[in-house]
Amino acid sequence: MIGFLILLLHVLVSPFKTPARLEAEIVLLRHQLSVLRRRVPSRPKLTVADRLLIVWLYRLFPSALNAITIVQPETVIRWHRTGFRLYWRWKSRTRGGRPQIPGETRRLIREMSLANRLWGAPRIHGELLKLGIEVAQSTVAKYMARSGRGRSQTWKTFLHNHAAGIAAMDFLIVPTVGFKLLFVLVILRHQRRRLISLTVTTHPTAEWIGHQVTAAFPWNEAPDYLIRDRDGSYGRGILRRLAAMGIRDHPTAARSPWQNGRAERLIGSIRRECLDHIVVFDEAHLCRILAAYAAYHNEVRTHLSLAKDAAGHRPIQQLGQLSTWPILGGLHHEYCRT
């Protein structure tokens, strides 16, 4: 700042100096610049104020480019053009016209177009009007997602539409305190990940599995498809029982547990959230533990795939005093308002 004040003082005093004195000062200043350039060959660092001063002098006296030595003349011209663009950008700024669409509305339009691939701009526009959002249909068409849209549903939508008719089952092996192996038959519905049955036996047979399937699915609520692995316990009796109930059997490929992913994931949750923390004494003890976990899984536990809701549609409680109920001896807790 002091340097600019000194420069301004010299500008004010210059009209009172003789031409000869001014010429001598100019020659001396140029010689000093030449000396400094020899000692400091690197490019000098200029501030914004320095650039504005040089550009201002260039606009008043274009011939002053011949006297510049610390920068190239093309650099001064580039600075001038940049300032010209910034000036016209400021001069052409928006001062009226249509109001801008809020970012929340733009994101909602994009989400609607991605989630509903069969919807066009008129349908999305109608939904927005029902939500009290006043926008033009042309605006909706402008902010709809362009990539990834088509006239066909996605695999995610296809599987979701058929989840109600699909069930799965698999075995879970649990060792007791005396190293005796107990077999747990896990049966679940793909719709809302609901756990249907957890039954325990020491010797799984095809006849026993058939009875469990019959008990798990009433005749009027039997699924259309049942996914299972190729365990040797499933015999021809299972196939006949499923065919009699109108259920199509779908065994997975050999060594492909990922084809029955939801059952495998449920078994992993049972181990991590329950059995890995408990020593099982006998079959009756395991039945009590699994019954408590099944109730917790279906009615209390929140699931990421269900938008953090429980399989049994756990209601949202906003009124009442907060209470805590231990589950499985305090391994988990249920929080509710009473």
* Portion of the chain with pLDDT greater than 90, in percent: 42
User: In this structure, are 185 and 251 located in the same domain?
Assistant: yes
pLDDT the model gives residue 10: 60
228-283 residue pLDDT tens: 999 989 988 899 999 999 999 999 998 899 999 999 999 999 999 999 999 999 99
pLDDT the model gives residue 87: 81
pLDDT the model gives residue 97: 64
pLDDT the model gives residue 21: 63
Asked, for residue 337, whether it belongs to a domain, the answer is: no
User: In this structure, are 48 and 80 located in the same domain?
Assistant: yes
Asked if pLDDT for residue 290 goes beyond 80, the answer is yes
Top mean-pLDDT range of 11-20, 153-162, 304-313: 304-313
CATH number at residue 185: 3.30.420.10
Residues 6+ apart with CB under 8 A from 123: 116
User: In this structure, are 143 and 261 located in the same domain?
Assistant: no
Q: Which residue has the higher pLDDT, 96 or 101?
A: 101
User: In this structure, are 148 and 168 located in the same domain?
Assistant: no
| Full domain range(s) for residue 123 | 103-152
Chain centroid to CA 21: how far?
A: 73
pLDDT the model gives residue 172: 95
pLDDT the model gives residue 253: 92
Tally of domains within the chain: 3
Which H/E stretch holds residue 283? helix 283-299
**Cα dihedral 62→64→66→68 (10° resolution):** -130
162-198 residue pLDDT tens: 888 999 999 999 999 999 999 999 999 998 999 999 9
User: In this structure, are 195 and 241 located in the same domain?
Assistant: yes
Query: Please, what is the average pLDDT of the chain?
Result: 83
Asked if pLDDT for residue 120 goes beyond 70, the answer is yes
51-91 residue pLDDT tens: 776 666 666 666 666 666 666 667 767 777 887 788 888 88
Letter string b/e over residues 133-156, b meaning 16 or more CB atoms within 10 A of that residue's CB: bebeeebbeebbeeeeeeeeeeee
User: In this structure, are 176 and 298 located in the same domain?
Assistant: yes
Asked, for residue 141, whether it belongs to a domain, the answer is: yes
pLDDT the model gives residue 194: 93
User: In this structure, are 170 and 270 located in the same domain?
Assistant: yes
Q: Interior CA angle at 72 toward 69 and 75, to 5°?
A: 135
Q: Which residue has the higher pLDDT, 161 or 200?
A: 200
| Mean pLDDT computed over 307-315 | 89
User: In this structure, are 77 and 168 located in the same domain?
Assistant: no
User: In this structure, are 243 and 136 located in the same domain?
Assistant: no
User: In this structure, are 211 and 123 located in the same domain?
Assistant: no
212-234 residue pLDDT tens: 999 999 878 899 999 999 998 99
Asked, for residue 257, whether it belongs to a domain, the answer is: yes
Among residues 324, 325, 320, the alpha carbon closest in space to that of 338 is found at: 320
The pTM score is 0.60
User: In this structure, are 206 and 301 located in the same domain?
Assistant: yes
Residues 6+ apart with CB under 8 A from 55: 76, 79, 80, 83
| Mean pLDDT computed over 295-324 | 90
